[in-house]
Structure 1
Amino acid sequence: MSVLSAGLSRNQQIIGLFAWLLLSVVTAAIGSAASIQAAPFYAELIRPDWAPPAWLFGPVWTVLYALMAIAAWLVWRIDGFGANSGSRARMALLLFIAQLIANALWSWLFFYWRDSALAFVDIVLLWLLIAATLVMFWRITPAAGVLLVPYLLWVSFAAALNYSLWQLNLS
């Protein structure tokens, strides 16, 4: 299905892109609110040798949130949320929103409540949601799926780091 068949004007597409970017920024802000004291907390943890420095997380997440928003927009502009509640785009976008919730929750679990075990459970769920979203996005428009690959890879790395931090800091 082409973009033109969705019947969206150029202005509607621009507004849609802005809305998906805004949703990603809001998700980032919710996670950031829990991470205000993340740097000192992260510095206090016993970390594996391969753990990245705290300053790296902000730039990486900024790029990932932008890619996520563009991927969602690419799917949305094909069929929006669709009049048909069973549309593939609608289901994929609802799954995308579910993974955003799990994404924001992780920061609260790990940094605010300092529960690395529950954060690990959340990040495993997040990984599964991202993988499912990636597959659904790919089936609708491969470009959207490709844009989620760096996110899935980063969350894979973050899950391994979360697990290591949990195990190294059990006390």
Structure 2
Amino acid sequence: MKKQYTYIAISVAICLLVGFLSSFATQSSVNDWYLHLNKPWFNPPSWIFAPVWILLYILMGIATGLVWAKGIYHIWVKTALYHFGIQLLFNALWSIVFFGFQNIFGALLIILTLIVLLIFTIKWFKIVNKTSAYLMIPYLLWVCYAAILNYKIWELN
């Protein structure tokens, strides 16, 4: 059990670190370029993003730690963690492309890819630990919402 908490703590820290690092790209444009974009009526206020993402990164970290605790030697665990790592890279890449490069269409392609990768991650998490799969669902829902938002911003600009 102690080992499980260690894996969860490490996983949460990694997820939060990725979020923190990708926020540098966001901060470079969020108070400048992003303010001047046309946005749909359902665009949330800017202050909501940080707390939502912090919560999602914590849930992702818990989910990943629970999978990791099942034993890294097992091929299903390795496969699940591989999928998680790839989707986490695409998560960070989205911020870099959307805010850093200010490429709305490129970010749309990335977020659509991220949704597919998330579905595979959830599938593999469910094989290893059902609770982990359920912990990833809010993240998937938020990314789907973000994809719609990304599409509408692209369409309006």
Deviation at 1:40, TM superposition (A): 3.3
From 14, 18, 37, the equivalent of 1:23 is 14
| Structure 2 counterpart SS, 1:50 | coil
From 138, 141, 150, the equivalent of 1:153 is 141
- Higher RCO (CA < 8 A, seq sep 6+): 2
Q: Are the counterparts in 1 of residues 60 and 135 from structure 2 also a CA contact under 8 Å?
A: yes
Aligned equivalent of 2:90 = 102
1:35 matched to 2:26? The reply is: yes
Read off the aligned partner of 2:15 and give its amino acid letter.
S
Distance 1:113 1:42 in 2: 12
Task: State the identity as a percent.
Answer: 35
Rg larger in 1 or in 2? 1
Distance 2:129 2:8 in 1: 16
Aligned equivalent of 1:62 = 54
1:50 matched to 2:42? The reply is: yes
Distance 1:13 1:146 in 2: 18
When normalised by structure 2's length, the TM-score is 0.95
Q: Which runs of 5+ in 1 are unaligned?
A: 1-8
Aligned equivalent of 1:5 = none
Distance 2:5 2:124 in 1: 23
Deviation at 1:41, TM superposition (A): 2.8
Deviation at 1:146, TM superposition (A): 0.4
| Structure 2 counterpart SS, 1:36 | helix
Distance 1:115 1:141 in 2: 37
When normalised by structure 1's length, the TM-score is 0.87
Distance 1:13 1:75 in 2: 9
Q: Are the counterparts in 2 of residues 68 and 147 from structure 1 also a CA contact under 8 Å?
A: yes
Deviation at 1:39, TM superposition (A): 3.5
After superposition, what is the alpha-carbon deviation per residue over 1:92-150, rounded to whole angstroms, capped at 9, x for unaligned?
A: 00110001100000001000100011100100111111111011111211100000000
Distance 2:45 2:93 in 1: 22
- Residues matched between the structures, number: 156
Deviant stretches of 4+, over 6 Å:
none
After superposition, what is the alpha-carbon deviation per residue over 1:9-47, rounded to whole angstroms, capped at 9, x for unaligned?
A: 61x333222210121012102210101131433321100
